[in-house]
Structure 1
Amino acid sequence: MEESEAEWSELTRECLMNILSRLSTEDQWRGAMLVCKSWFSAFKEPSLHYVFNLDPYFDSPLESPRWWTLEFESKIDSMLRSLLRSTLLFLTQIRIRHCSDRSLALVAQRCPNLEVLSIRSCPRVTDDSISRIAFGCPNLRELDISYCYEITHESLMLIGKNCPNLKVLKRNLMNWLDPSQHAGIVPVDYLNACPQDGDSEAAAIANSMPNLEWLEIRFSKLSAKGLNLICQGCPNIELLDLSGCANLSSRDIANASSSLSHLKDIKKPNFYIPRSVFHAERYGHWRLYDERFQTDVFRI
């Protein structure tokens, strides 16, 4: 056993770098850095940490209620802060979930070269840390703040004004039309906190993000007015995802998007509401036979 350990520890640094660079983020953190002292030292090499991606860990068919707890959030924060203390200026991509303002504030301080930030499903990320990101990470070109309900149009405006290279924005909300798919996983009070100011966010996007090429706003509550603002203010959009945007009609979308000369793909808010989740008292205020619901897949 001692001889085997000695052989592993005596690998040249070049060999170690080659090995560690081929491992996933999870494998690096869970095993490789604990092999021996030389491996732990090599793990701190900044060139290994241009990208910090935990998304594969969360991309499982079943979401865990444990991910929405303060204890789990604390672990994610601790992991990110530990990484930031050693990588300094080198990190260019961060893809995590369930972090908080505590770790994102450090990202804003230590990652001036950050280009991609994906922080989906972070219930305690607020305008405070996103505003710091806006000022501290001016090279940002992709931002995913889907399912982060404490972020408002105010920090969206700051991101747009201070990050001129922003090309991709993902600001998707959970399915408030049929929240049963989140039941037992996402806390009820968080589901009920779904942002209502769709047009304010649309105005912030339109007025500050003229270079957007990819925009996802699934289940946004924006109106035709908000969509018109986006299409006028972001003329370079190539992909526009409006899935679940129940306040938009097919005519609204056609009229607004007609000005987007670069548009290649648009996902419209087609609906399918199963009888099992349909309740007249809940959906009756929708004028169900209005043109907004005349789509091929809308069936009751």
Structure 2
Amino acid sequence: MQLSEDPNLQPILFGLFLSMYLVTVLGNLLIILAVSSDSHLHTPMYFFLSNLSLADIGFISTTVPKMIVNIQTHNRVISYVGCLTQMSIFGIFACMDYMLLSVMAYDRFVAICYPLYYLVIMNPHLCGFLILVSFLLSLLESQLHNSMILQITIFKSVEISSFFCDPSQLLNLSCSDTFSNNIVKYFLGAFYGLFPISGIFFSYYKIISSILRIPSSGGKYKAFSTYGSHLEVVSLFIGTGFGVYLGSAALPSPRKGTMASVMYTVVTPMLNPFIYSLRNRDIKGALRRLPSRMA
């Protein structure tokens, strides 16, 4: 799947996606370095943020390098094994992003609704456990999708032309009955989609209810500005993700589906570090102090 048939646009697309990839990796690496080097940021909130940045690097690295190579070589095919590998790694990091956003919403819920018990509840053991559970659930989801594809052997020798592989693409290429696989896919989508997003909505419902009870308008503004960056990232990631997977069936043009996937897989990870760094005074301060700490 290519973004444009015009050969004159290929150098522009190459430079555009290479720049977006480098900006994403650099931005997320700066957040990880800022959090790890500044003792003031050694809190659960920034521990989860650094893990989210690490997941974003892996998230975009499974698709964009392949896309850049395809544009440069004018060869837009991917092998069956390569597609399975890309789909597996992408599934892990995409689900990890989603799980970490849910964990971060829970962390913010505890911080604002139970501030006196925050450090007791969100202790290092629980934080590490939540990261481990998020990774294991992401790995399980990825392997379950792979197991569905491995049951379909009718197109093992067929090259799949695409910059990004997901289970629905491979299932649609099969001529065999995929009804049972679709049932499993929708079950996984409901389990991994509805439960985390329900937790996010519940957490922010309690957060907003608590903030609205703050008597001063200045206190309300400060509280909303503190959690606004996470809400923006959640809305961006979930909005584009649901737009890709729920709206793909309604998109008549494959190119429109490709553009929606680009928004989800490329633009969203690139914007996350900007949202957190520009809206967070602690991160901006840590980034300003980073050169002196690295010297």
TM-score by length of 1: 0.24
More strand by share: 1
More helix by share: 2
Instruction: Determine which structure has greater relative contact order: mean sequence separation of CA pairs < 8 Å that are 6+ residues apart, divided by chain length.
Output: 2
Pair member with larger Rg: 1
